[in-house]
Amino acid sequence: MHACSRGLISCTLMRGRSRLPLWLREICAYVRLLVRSLYFNALTDSDVVFDSVFEPVFWTVDHVTRWFGMVFVCLVVILTSSIVLIAYVVLLPLVLNTYSPVWIAWHLCYGHWNLVMIAFHYYKATKTSPGSPPTVKNDIPFVSVCKRCIIPKPARTHHCGICNRCILKMDHHCPWLNNCVGHFNHRYFFSFCLFMTMGCVYCSVSGRNLFLDAYNRFKHMDMEKPGVPVTGMGLLIGILPPGQTNYQTPPPPYTFKDKMIHKSIIYMWVLTSTVGVALGGLTIWHAVLISRGETSIERHINNKERKRMAKRGKLYKNPFSYGRLNNWRIFFGVEKRSHWVTRVLLPSGHAPYGDGLTWDIYPVKKDMMPV
């Protein structure tokens, strides 16, 4: 009798639960999975607990970043185009009228070269896939299995929650590119940051005097009033006719066109100076990582391994670092001296060194690409 009662009660509960909406049942199952993941086996540590507790936060950030990716790309295009428009409409006529032919040639050559390098590398960084490991069965060596993709992960491969896939030699997900920075577009990303910083510094330095002049004139525009009140002794000595209390000054010498030119110069200098400082710091940071032969993610992994090995009295060395100069050669794909010009200083779409699936590990430093 008691067994039948228990069965009837369980059936009733199951029927009541099945009547819940599908989306509510999925949320309940997801919450139960998060709770069970806190004690699913003996390998549970603080990292697993942290990931489980903050999983909803990570999910929200990933989806918001994914939705706003195109907004950031459009913002980069609009801001860059506005600076180029000011350079052609406002600055170029001033350069042609005031500078010597040598300086005119320098500004024209350097400015257009820098602009071409920025546009080329930004386009390639956004449109080039960073690379993903194959999903079919293969004999490629791997170091772990992705817990989300459930596929083998080769060395230096990490999962991107925003792209929802594994990325070869992943550095980070860049919202300004709406793309991951990985093995096949890492060079394009760094080159874009480098040449954009150079362009911003060029505009900031060359336009400093124009900015100071425009700022001083813009500041004095508000001080020029169409009328100045005359009071006190002015009324007594009869400076103005009877009944008139304001002395009409001549109209300001600045036209609407002059005001727009001054505001454009101020806007250009403030924007390029701000971006130059912020992006310059990011570029220097990535240059340090490239010199060490590691990515942004690998830096944290390597630091953790160094501390772990130091406790055991051992020294940890990055297995993917081949020396500072060789790291730069591998990163840019430089195999001979002419490549420093054709592949670094000029637009080049050559493929990076290796396939991103396997990596040569050298226990000692040696010249991999003799020059």
Residue 186 one-letter amino acid: H
Note whether 143 and 136 are within 8 A (CB). no
Note whether 343 and 350 are within 8 A (CB). yes
pTM of the model: 0.76
Range list of β-strands (E), 61-208 = 144-145, 152-153, 158-160, 165-167, 172-174, 179-181
For residue 350, give both structure tokens: 């050559």
User: In the predicted model, is pLDDT for residue 267 greater than 60?
Assistant: yes
Distance of alpha carbon 288 from the chain centroid: 16
Q: CA-CA distance, 327 to 321, in Å (whole number)? A: 7
Which listed residue (160, 163, 166, 174) is catalytic?
174
For residue 218, give both structure tokens: 């813009």
Count of CB atoms within 10 A of residue 295's CB? 24
pLDDT, averaged across the chain: 82
Which pLDDT score, from 0 to 100, does residue 254 have? 65
- Domain ranges in the chain? 46-345
Which pLDDT score, from 0 to 100, does residue 369 have? 44
Residue 263 one-letter amino acid: K
User: In the predicted model, is pLDDT for residue 97 greater than 90?
Assistant: no
The pLDDT of 326-341, averaged and rounded, is: 93
Q: Give the pLDDT confidence of 158-195 residue by residue, as tens digits.
A: 999 888 899 999 999 999 999 999 999 999 999 999 99
Residue 149 — pLDDT band, cuts 50, 70, 90? confident
Long-range CB pairs of 53-61, under 8 A, 24+ apart, other chains included: 58/161, 59/161
Which of the 8 DSSP states describes residue 226? S
3-class secondary structure, 174: strand
Task: Give the 3-state DSSP-derived string for 29-42, with helices as H, strands as E and coil as C.
Answer: HHHHHHHHCCCCCC
Residue 85 — pLDDT band, cuts 50, 70, 90? very high
Place of tokens 């001549």: 250
Q: Give the pLDDT confidence of 278-290 residue by residue, as tens digits.
A: 999 999 999 999 9
Task: Tell me whether residue 174 is one of the annotated catalytic residues.
Answer: yes
Pick from 134, 153, 133: nearest CA to 145: 153
Residues whose CB falls within 8 Å of the CB of residue 269, separated by 6 or more in sequence, listed in order? 203, 204, 207, 208, 210, 211
Between helices 186-206 and 256-292, what is the axis angle to 10°? 140
Note whether 153 and 140 are within 8 A (CB). no
User: In the predicted model, is pLDDT for residue 2 greater than 50?
Assistant: no
Residues whose CB falls within 8 Å of the CB of residue 266, separated by 6 or more in sequence, listed in order? 211, 214, 215, 218
